[in-house]
Structure 1
Amino acid sequence: MDLTCSGCESEICSTDQYMKCSSCKKYYDLVCLNIPVQSFKNYKPEHKESWNCPSCLCSLPKSDNSRFSVGIASQPPIKTMLSNNCENVNMKRGSRVKTTEQESTTTDTSLLLSEIRLLRQEVSDLKQQNTDIGLKLSNFSDALNQKLEDFEKKMCAKDEEIILLKSSILQLEHKLNLSEQETMKTELEIIGIPEENNENLCHITMLTANKIGVQLNDLDIDEVYRIGQKTH
């Protein structure tokens, strides 16, 4: 059966270390009654059975107090007793004032919390730095991509220009070939004519043409020249 202390309203953990009021039938633990465990063990059974709580004891007529021991009868009410011993016991059962060990634990906890806050701040700073670095890298990447895009456009323009130049070269080569072919139609090579000093090649050409039955004049000849070096 679970017993509840009427003084602190907490569950009485020990099943044999408590006092039951013979008048109101309420239960009280030894902590709220400020009764040492050793003193409780020395109580006689008849004393425990006839025990009255401080509240009931105060409500009894004075003539009836003679049957109680001075130590028990002189106990103040529970609330007054708890107030006088507030330095050692809180209203909740088993809740004691912080000991030196508890204070040390609290100090360690405070230091740990402070270190955790500092660590969180450092993590937050690192996240911000990473964000800034990521933003810079993103901006650099965008600028690099823009430069690459501009370079590709220039290369495409150069490629188109090269294609146009190649087309122009092909057209010029074709025109040159046609011109050479047209020129070759009017060219005539004469061999076997001895070379002399101060010779007139145009006159020699017209004489040669007349000998083979071709009539030429100065307007029909554009240019006359010998091929090769002069032989001695």
Structure 2
Amino acid sequence: MVLKCAACGKFMPKDPAEGAACIGCQSSYHLACVGIQDKNKIVAGWACPECKAKVPRKNNDDTPIKICSERDLACAADQSPCMSPNDTAHDITADFSVAEELKLFREVLREELSSLRNEMQGIKRELSNVSSSLLQCNKRIDDLESSVTRVEKQFSKRIDDLESRIVSVESQSKERNGTDSTAVEAMIGQLKAELNDRDQELLLNDVDITGIPEEKGENVLHVTTLVAAKIGITLKESDIVRAERVGPVRAGRDARGGRDAVTARPIVVRLARRALRDDLLRAARVRREATTADLSLPGPVRRFYINERLTKNNRQLFNKARAAAKSCKWKFIWSRDGRIYARKNEGQSGVRIRSDQDILRIFGSENIGPNV
């Protein structure tokens, strides 16, 4: 570490023996700056003039009085500095110190320049590496740009091809729609009819019983046997595969506070044999005026009806046909094995209704209301 003299502020020599260090303030001084001619005369525990001046003086009466010589008096009278051999030596020492300080400054400057040169070389190497990296990045960017351009051209060509194909397909579909739509609709209608017929075949052993009052906790199987006995058909529990109420529960009540039979859910019964179903329907047609009297059922006496069970599509078609027949004053609308028939008067042959188009064709659109 390079030190500076605390007296003159100049650099100290590297050799510690060329200077003096104060034991008090730890500052370093040139020997000439503190008036030391011989470095061997530096005593241990040497203190600089400032530290000595801070030490309080003792009142010593035995201190002899210094006698001024004639030369000192003459110098004082002339008020001019007196040169002594010590002053000449001090000047020579000061010149030597300046030379040493310049030499030290030159060495320090050389070291700093050397370190600065090394740093500049490191910066040059880093800049060279950065430059090479930038060149590689620029090359990669150019490659990416060329790749993106090539891909854009390919996609643009593919998009143009797809657009032309779409236009061609649209034109072909428009041409086909005029000829194929009717055939497709006919095929869809035929498939729907076939599915409906197949579903209807699964219900050939089922009947619907409506108009029977509903009671909480009732035995639907027992109610079914009572209704069958009312129209003259004896059913055993083994003849009934399933008997249950279907549809949402409705909470309508009549004027007496009981449950209204109109709001009661229908009973769906599946019989073990189709012959039993046919006998039950035949007996129900004979005794059309049968009521709930003597069946021990809650509520007032009401008529009940037994019909074959239809699919949802057939049931909707039957309701539409019955409304159209009523508006056109046709007397007979019935179903048999899932097929719907209509007849205007007695003695005339019946016509089968398979779809809404048949209703329009048979009854005429001008005679049918908007709800049909």
- Give TM-score scaled by structure 2 length: 0.24
* Higher relative strand content: 2
- Give TM-score scaled by structure 1 length: 0.37
* Higher relative helix content: 1
